[in-house]
Amino acid sequence: MAKLTFFQLLKAGEQQLTAAGQDASAAQYLLLEGQQWTFTTLVQHYREDVPTELTTSYQDQITRICAGEPAQYILGRAPFYGREFRVTPATLIPRQETEELVEWVLSVAKPGLDLLDVGTGSGAIAISLKAERPDWTVTATDISAAAVTVAQQNAQQLQASITFAVGDLLKPVRGQRFDIVVSNPPYIDRAELPVMDDSVKRFEPDSALFADDHGLAFYRRFAAELIAVLRPGGQFFAEIGYHQGAAVREIFALALPTATVTVKTDINGHDRMVRVQLKS
């Protein structure tokens, strides 16, 4: 097999992805992340021959993406809030919208708080918050033991001291109180399946995506249980679906009439987050 330069390898990957109806930018993403290069470094290597072993593994990765598999699962890692997190099919791939949720928590919270992350997945939210606020005490839970294992590995790799527990919603922390509860719960209505990205449907965990009651089930559960886990004046933050703002606001306003409920838009102007602050 004739040697390819890095430039030729990249272009061949982009063409293969385009022909398969996939996003051609994944070809560059795989090459940069796989080599731990910046784009500038890649350009500097454009005319160099690619080692045969790297050519073979890269072409295998391109073939998997052509079949719909997310690049992050192929690489086994994904960026989030300036750090790299291990991801597996047991965890959602962290997304940019969730970084905005982290920013919101950081912008309104005080020093020395006790925080709980429910449905932690890869641990991206909990670990990012602990890394940014080392004086916080952070606990993270998930109903999936496999996801908690991944989160623990990420916490160890990123040197974040976090307490992890396996269990449904708030059951693992019964009897404990927190200043902040944060969550990126399942919130997709199964009726949205026809318009969802095929790779998400095929590869990301159903249990972390879909919720009953038109995607609102977990917000109703939180609304019923927050009083038992939040301290007076405590705050709950969660990601929501872009069309769920009014419904989520109503759920919390009815269940917690003395609380202040705020829905916040993301960078694209879509309803994306909710904050519920209990009365002190």
Q: What is the mean pLDDT of residues 112-137?
A: 98
Q: What is the mean pLDDT of residues 14-30?
A: 96
Per-residue pLDDT reduced to its tens digit, 58-108 = 999 999 999 999 999 999 999 999 999 999 999 999 998 999 999 999 999
The answer to whether residues 24 and 123 belong to one domain is no
Is 112 annotated as ligand-binding?
no
The confidence score (pLDDT) of residue 104 equals 98
80 found inside a domain: no
Is 142 annotated as ligand-binding?
yes
Whole-prediction pTM: 0.93
Per-residue pLDDT reduced to its tens digit, 54-70 = 999 999 999 999 999 99
Is 187 annotated as ligand-binding?
yes
Could you tell me the CATH number of the domain that includes residue 145?
3.40.50.150
The answer to whether residues 179 and 271 belong to one domain is yes
Is 114 annotated as ligand-binding?
no
The answer to whether residues 27 and 142 belong to one domain is no
Locate 105 and state its tokens: 């928590």
The answer to whether residues 62 and 105 belong to one domain is no
77 found inside a domain: no
Q: What is the mean pLDDT of residues 12-20?
A: 97
Is 186 annotated as ligand-binding?
yes
Mean pLDDT over all residues of the chain? Answer: 95
76 found inside a domain: no
Is 119 annotated as ligand-binding?
yes
d(CA 131, CA 120): 15
Residue 1 pLDDT exceeds 60: no
The confidence score (pLDDT) of residue 16 equals 97
